[in-house]
Amino acid sequence: MAIGVKVMKRPTQQTSYLRATLKGMALTFSHLLRPKVTMQYPEEKSSKDWTLSSRWRGTHRMLTDEQGRAKCVACGLCPQICPANCIKLVPGEDEEGNRYPLIYEIDEFRCIFCGYCQEVCPEEAIHVGVHYENSEYSRDRFVYDLERLSAQTHPVSTLWDPSDPKGE
Amino acid sequence: MADGLINLTIDGAPVSVPPGTLVIEAAKQAGVLVPHYCYHPGLPVAGVCRMCLVEIEKAPKLQIACATTVTEGMVVKTQAPAAKDARQSVLEFLLINHPLDCPICDQAGECELQDFVFQEGQPGTRYGEFAKRFNPVEDFGPDVLYVPNRCILCTRCVRFMEDVAKEPVLNVSERGDRAFIGIHPEARLDHPWAGNVVDLCPVGSLLSKDFLHKARAWELDKTASICTGCSQGCNITLDTRDEVVVRVRPRPNLDINRYFICDHGRMHYRWMNRGDRIEAPLVKKDGGLHATDWDEAFARVLAILRGASGKAVALVSPGASSEALAATKRLLSGFSWTGAFQVVMGEEAPLSGVPNLALRAERAPNAKGAEQLGYTRDYAQALAAAKSAAVVLVLDEPDCAVETDGALIYAGTVLGEDAACRRAEVVLPIANVAEEEGTFTNLDGREQRYYQAKPAPGMAQPAAWVLGQLAQEMGLAEVQ
């Protein structure tokens, strides 16, 4: 016994695809006239509508004093606070007998960019940077030593300020 | 309550202490630490820091807990508002000139000023507009640096040198806010026990040059140990960082060293970190020593011991643990054996203020223990006897000039390029004092235990284990 299929009788404007196609095309072409949001990276890295947040936590930077020496005094707080255990520090003395890091290395692969090192630093020496272009040709280049950290020039993070939680 | 004790109440807790006890010591029994700087149980009371002010009921003013003796029915309140307020003010005064250079200060992490300011200080200062006093760092002696800026003038160092070391070279120079710790212009802080001022200093004002900038206090692992510098048997703490011993500090023991250790003991730790250690058992093959595993080394030793008879000689180190010495004795008990040790002698340096405490002339920790186990001091005779012995066992005597026609077995930590022990049939690598647990017997016959502070290198094992295993294989020890 054949199954009886019920056929709906619909008006012509609903069975024709022309109307829906034109409607879709109109929406598509209307985008040509809207303002552009695409940024031409890498030629263009920020625009007036969008910049990297000043609280961005990227690869580190060591600040230096007037003589160009790292401000770090090797107090040992950043390796202590670091949850990823990515900072290697060996304290020593400089020529004037001041406490100074003999070895200061950050493994950026291990780093989770929490920013605790910047927060804990009593000398305001180590900072996380507002920076994200880190590609290298070899893995070992991702262990930044003191010289490399001091040579970075990108801006440093302001971190989150509890007295100004929304960054206003 | 026992007779002759005085009953008092400290912060609501009843305490019974002998008459003459200071309130600060009674408070320790009640589990209350009264903040203090100038008071130290090993030094005479000075009462200069005013930090331990507490409220005592019926007393007209706050009293210093370090110089007030207990009386019957006394009610002490260390946390009374007036006492807390007074201590907070003392801390504020101390911090007027303190540089707060904790990031570069070696004491950070174990600094009493840090601790008490954190515990009960106030968040800010009211003296921010004045420049802090500045004095340059002074070189006090062979191992002591003085940083006057950090000094809080507790005078513990002055009292130690005057009353304990009895060599009063330190004083408080100048007065009022210009005061600092001065040293006699023609003297140096080179007393053999002078290093204790570094431990006594509650802040980072007196620093050890040896430990300067080496490690942070919170990175150190602390292990109870016994000093190997001499036969006194001072109790020490070995501070290790990344499995390297970086500092030796005294561990209080009122019966032996009180709160002090001498500078010889303090500096006597570098050998524990030697890098040129024997890391694997070595056996003689084709005229040379070759690395092997413990099984083969044990088999060689057992073959030697089972195949030999007659005389055996043990040349042992007086720095070996009593357990290792006893195992050696047991291992050779099947022979007619003699055991001997030699002790390096030095100059005796007593600490005048403490009876029966000195850097002893015998510079070995376990000479008494070796003697009690039947080893003799007649080293020359034992060396001569070794010539004709069937088996000679050398226990950690790397420079031993042994010569023998029999079989030579060497258990040691190091083996020099042209050491006599290179002629050994078997070389067994053993752990040093920082890498094993054991017992030393000091010159008064007091047996004291020391504990493992770091792992032994490579395949090295504690000597007591190595020799004990061999004795067990020989059927000379009880099977465990």
Separation of alpha carbons B375 and B388, rounded Å:
19
| Minimum Cα–Cα distance from B102: chain A residue | A75
Q: What's the topology of domain B101-219? A: Alpha-Beta Plaits (3.30.70)
Separation of alpha carbons B379 and B194, rounded Å:
35
Q: Which comes out higher in pLDDT, residue A3 or B236?
A: B236
Interchain contact, A76 vs B104, CB within 8 Å: no
Q: Average the pLDDT over each of A12-21, B136-145, B455-464 and give the range with the smallest value.
A: A12-21
Q: Where are the domains of chain A?
A: 58-151
Q: Looking at CA atoms only, how far is residue B103 from chain A in angstroms?
A: 5
Tokens read off for B3? 């007779």
Give per-residue pLDDT as tens, B51-82.
999 999 999 999 999 999 999 999 999 999 99
pLDDT for the residue B124: 84
Q: Which comes out higher in pLDDT, residue A24 or A165?
A: A24
Find the helix or strand (DSSP H, E) in which A81 lies: helix A77-81
Give per-residue pLDDT as tens, B300-321.
999 999 999 899 999 999 999 9
Interchain contact, A91 vs B108, CB within 8 Å: no
| Minimum Cα–Cα distance from B219: chain A residue | A80
Which CATH entry fits the domain spanning B6-79: 3.40.50.2300, 3.10.20.740, 3.40.50.1980, 3.40.50.280? 3.10.20.740
B107, B211, B212, B213: best to mutate for the A interface, most A CBs within 10 A: B213
Question: Is B214 part of the contact surface with chain A (CB cutoff 8 Å)?
Answer: yes
pLDDT at residue A55 greater than cutoff 70: yes
Give per-residue pLDDT as tens, B421-477.
999 999 999 999 999 999 999 999 999 999 999 999 999 999 999 999 999 999 887
Question: Which chain B residues are within 8 Å of A93, Cβ to Cβ?
Answer: 212-213
Interchain contact, B103 vs A122, CB within 8 Å: yes
Question: Which chain B residues are within 8 Å of A96, Cβ to Cβ?
Answer: none
pLDDT mean over B104-129: 91
Q: Which comes out higher in pLDDT, residue B398 or A162?
A: B398
pLDDT for the residue A2: 73
pLDDT for the residue B476: 84
Cis preceding-peptide flag for B281 (omega within 30 of 0)? no
pLDDT mean over A11-24: 84
pLDDT mean over A7-17: 79
pLDDT for the residue A18: 87
Percentage, residues of chain B above pLDDT 90? 90
Q: Looking at CA atoms only, how far is residue A92 from chain B in angstroms?
A: 6
Question: Which chain B residues are within 8 Å of A92, Cβ to Cβ?
Answer: 213
Distances (CA, A) of B13 to B20, B55, B68, B101, B374: 19, 15, 18, 38, 53
pLDDT at residue A108 greater than cutoff 90: yes
pLDDT mean over B330-339: 92
Question: Which chain A residues are within 8 Å of B213, Cβ to Cβ?
Answer: 74, 91-93, 99
pLDDT for the residue B2: 57
pLDDT for the residue A1: 58
pLDDT for the residue B329: 94
Identify residues of A whose CB sits under 8 angstroms from chain B CBs. 73-77, 80, 91-93, 98-99, 122-123
A72, A77, A98: best to mutate for the B interface, most B CBs within 10 A: A77
Of residues B103, B212, B214, nearest to A75 (C-beta): B103
pLDDT for the residue B73: 93
Give per-residue pLDDT as tens, A111-147.
999 999 999 999 999 999 999 999 999 999 999 999 9
pLDDT for the residue A94: 86
Among the listed residues B452, B476, B410, B479, the one whose alpha carbon sits nearest the alpha carbon of residue B224:
B452
CATH architecture entry for B282-473? 3-Layer(aba) Sandwich (3.40)
Percentage, residues of chain B above pLDDT 70? 99
Question: Which chain B residues are within 8 Å of A74, Cβ to Cβ?
Answer: 104, 213
Of residues A92, A93, A123, nearest to B103 (C-beta): A123
Interchain contact, A80 vs B219, CB within 8 Å: yes
pLDDT for the residue B352: 93
pLDDT for the residue B128: 83
pLDDT mean over B148-162: 95
pLDDT for the residue A95: 86
pLDDT mean over A25-36: 93
Q: What's the topology of domain A58-151? A: Alpha-Beta Plaits (3.30.70)
How does residue B418 score in pLDDT terms, banded at 50, 70 and 90? Answer: confident
* Max CA pair span of chain B: 89
Separation of alpha carbons B40 and B18, rounded Å:
19
pLDDT, averaged across chain B: 93
Q: Looking at CA atoms only, how far is residue A73 from chain B in angstroms?
A: 6
Q: Average the pLDDT over each of A41-45, A104-108, B364-368 and give the range with the smallest value.
A: A41-45
pLDDT for the residue B475: 87
- How many residues are recorded in chain A? 168
pLDDT for the residue A4: 84
Find the helix or strand (DSSP H, E) in which A150 lies: helix A146-151
pLDDT for the residue B477: 74
pLDDT at residue B480 greater than cutoff 60: no
Interchain contact, A73 vs B102, CB within 8 Å: no
CB contacts < 8 A, A to B, total 30
Q: Is A116 helix (H, G, I), strand (E, B) or coil?
A: helix
Question: Which chain A residues are within 8 Å of B214, Cβ to Cβ?
Answer: 91
pLDDT mean over B254-276: 95
Give per-residue pLDDT as tens, B374-390.
999 999 999 999 999 99
